[in-house]
Structure 1
Amino acid sequence: MSPKDSTVVEQGAFVVPDIPIKELLDAIPAHCFKRSAIRSGAYALWDFFVIGVIYKTATFLDTQIDPSIIALPHPALYPFARFALWSLYGFFTGLFATGLWVVAHECGHQAFSESKFINNTVGWILHSALGVPYHSWRITHAKHHASTGHLTQDQVFVPSTRSDLGLPPLDPKREDRLGARVTEEVKKELWEALGDSPIGAVIGSATYL
């Protein structure tokens, strides 16, 4: 295409509409704000049910991948078929496990039900099952939504510095950046940070045995 045949389109400046948050919220139907533990729980139970069905189906099909049951052109195809089967299992299970994560996520937003106790209990159970600390995530995630996209306050992008946490400057004689030398004080801080995680809860409970 020659320059003569090209078309130049003038693009006007985009003006960000100045719409108050309240006006946006008022435009959403009232029933969208109603929280129901029964409906929310049904979504979680459905995801668990489908994940169970997928697992039972995969284990059954795995038993069928056998020379005495099905004849494949080459013996090497049997392990390949099992690999393909369990790869599909992982993919489809991941889809519905993501659904569980969405329900758990909404618990952190207190959108699962009207009860804060139910929200935090279900959220903790689902998050723990998915290997994600609940309460520490809930707190930092709330800060993230309060300052989404903020260069210095958004929890997603900017980690806290030592000065932000009230810690003294790094002392190379006592510790290093890679953690090869860690003082007991730093170990205590690390344990307090990990104590809310599922693995931390398991290790912590084992210390009482």
Structure 2
Amino acid sequence: MAARLVDWRFHLMPPQPQALCSSRLLQPNSPDLRWKGHMYKGIKSKQQFFRTKRIKTVLAVAVPVPSPHRDIAEERKQIAKDYGFTQIGERLPENITLKDVTESLPKKVFEMDAVKAWKSVFISVSSYALGLWMIAKAPWYLLPLAWAWTGTAVTGFFVIGHDCAHKSFAKNKLVEDIVGTLTFLPLIYPYEPWRFKHDRHHAKTNMLSEDTAWHPVWREEIESSEVLRKAIILGYGPFRTWMSIGHWLLLHFDPKKFKPAEIKRVKISLACVFVFVVIGWPLIIYKTGIFGWFKFWLMPWLVYHFWMSTFTMVHHTAPHISFKHSDDWNAAHAQLGGTVHCDYPRWIEILCHDINVHIPHHVSPRIPSYNLRLAHRSLQENWGKYLNEATWNWRLMKTIMTTCHVYSKEHNYVSFEEIAPKESKPIAFLRRVMPDYA
């Protein structure tokens, strides 16, 4: 006697004369998963019909079978607990398209409101000004708090420019381009080059090679050079929360990386950044000295990159979230099931304009930031069981930083410790010292 094991979204089939089961591994959002000893076997399903590529006969002893729904739900809860998630979403059925998800959203989430848009500008400008005042007045031992506030406030500038890039800030596109360029200047970010790269991230989310944001390291990169291997391990390990600095420097300042039709706008943005640096930095140094430049610009900028790296990493990285080759990629799976909603402390959410309410943003980038929470509530009502959700915690960060490294078709990720154990002492160090509470 045996049973056919299927995905946890469907019923366990009754005993059959011939015992058949799939040899594939089961997991919420990708073909295979191995984590802390959890192993699952199952087959993909579509519209509650079974489809297998390969089968094998398995002998089993007839035993009382507990409720499959209870068992599978408990397993998913345990995996979510192990990862630091509040919920790991079920796999979206194959017949659901991104259009189906988008059309389920209320129309008002797409409506732009000029008052709310400019209110976000006021919040960012005033909170940034407050941060600069705090830096100027704070004694040395309170400077880290002032830097944390100011760097988080300037991250709000990035989110405003982010809305402008997605054409969800104002109806006047020239206004959007001007506001986007100005809000990116304190970050030394060229607006147009970033916009072009970011559009490709949305078009190719969680697609291997094509996604311009985070993606797994290739095994070939690790094995190509000892120097490169050590640098990558440090970058994706202890320094991962500042890796966006490398991304910023390597992808946005070389016109050769862009299409001919994009070059003119790229050069204009680069010129704006160059002028800001040539005029702004000497003024800061003239007024406050080199240490003033360090206090008022560099440290808040590093805090901004901490958030930039952390937010982007958490949005699309988890052991159960798979990256796909283009011929196996599905837009609905990537945008709804491959994006993570993560709640941060409320003051961070306010200063960063709800950028971490990220699933609706990937369902449709046309949703303004001030409507993301409304859109997320709609997704929870209509698609709630498919969503990946978390509240920021140390276990979540530890899972990502010590596990999600090298691409594996079978398991999504393989840790550096498995590929290069001798060079992976930084990862072992993180595993020892990082807190593990959720």
The equivalent of 2:109 in structure 1 is 32
* 1:10-43, Cα deviation, whole Å (9 max, x unpaired): 5489553232222212221211101133321211
1:47 to 124, 144, 150: 124
The equivalent of 2:163 in structure 1 is 106
Does structure 2 retain, via aligned residues, the 8 Å contact 1:141–1:155? yes
C-alpha distance 56-19 of structure 1, shift in aligned 2 (>3 A): same
Does structure 2 retain, via aligned residues, the 8 Å contact 1:36–1:114? no
The equivalent of 2:274 in structure 1 is 200
The equivalent of 2:198 in structure 1 is 141
1:153 to 190, 193, 210: 210
The equivalent of 2:314 in structure 1 is none
Does structure 1 retain, via aligned residues, the 8 Å contact 2:185–2:276? no
| SS of equivalent to 1:19 | coil
* 1:147-171, Cα deviation, whole Å (9 max, x unpaired): 111113222358xxxxxxxxxxxxx
Farther off after superposition, 15-24 or 144-153: 15-24
Q: State the one-letter code of the partner of 1:31.
A: K
C-alpha distance 47-204 of structure 1, shift in aligned 2 (>3 A): closer
Does structure 2 retain, via aligned residues, the 8 Å contact 1:37–1:113? yes
The equivalent of 2:92 in structure 1 is 16
Distance 1:191 1:204 in 2: 20
Distance 2:207 2:255 in 1: 29
Cα displacement (A) at 1:119? 1.2
Distance 2:128 2:141 in 1: 18
Does structure 1 residue 123 correspond to structure 2 residue 180? yes
TM-score (ref. length: structure 2): 0.30
C-alpha distance 153-56 of structure 1, shift in aligned 2 (>3 A): closer
* 1:67-116, Cα deviation, whole Å (9 max, x unpaired): xxxxxxxxxxxxxxx22221111011122212221111111111111222
For structure 2, the residue ranges without an aligned partner over 5 or more in a row are 1-69, 77-89, 216-252, 258-265, 280-438
Cα displacement (A) at 1:137? 0.7
Question: How many matched pairs?
Answer: 149
Distance 1:50 1:112 in 2: 20
Q: Could you tell me the percent identity over the aligned residues?
A: 22
| SS of equivalent to 1:128 | helix
The equivalent of 1:74 in structure 2 is none
C-alpha distance 36-147 of structure 1, shift in aligned 2 (>3 A): same
Cα displacement (A) at 1:200? 3.3
Farther off after superposition, 103-112 or 28-37: 28-37
C-alpha distance 202-109 of structure 1, shift in aligned 2 (>3 A): same
| SS of equivalent to 2:274 | helix
* Larger RCO (alpha carbons 8 Å, 6+ apart): 2
Q: State the one-letter code of the partner of 1:129.
A: P
Cα displacement (A) at 1:52? 1.6
C-alpha distance 139-190 of structure 1, shift in aligned 2 (>3 A): closer
Greater strand fraction, Structure 1 or Structure 2: 2
C-alpha distance 36-91 of structure 1, shift in aligned 2 (>3 A): same
* 1:138-191, Cα deviation, whole Å (9 max, x unpaired): 111111111111113222358xxxxxxxxxxxxxxxxxxxxxxxxxxxxxx957
C-alpha distance 150-57 of structure 1, shift in aligned 2 (>3 A): closer
Cα displacement (A) at 1:127? 0.9
Distance 2:132 2:214 in 1: 37
C-alpha distance 96-204 of structure 1, shift in aligned 2 (>3 A): closer
Distance 2:133 2:91 in 1: 55
| SS of equivalent to 1:28 | coil
The equivalent of 2:250 in structure 1 is none
For structure 1, the residue ranges without an aligned partner over 5 or more in a row are 1-8, 63-81, 159-188
Cα displacement (A) at 1:203? 7.8
**Cα RMSD after superposing both structures:** 3.3
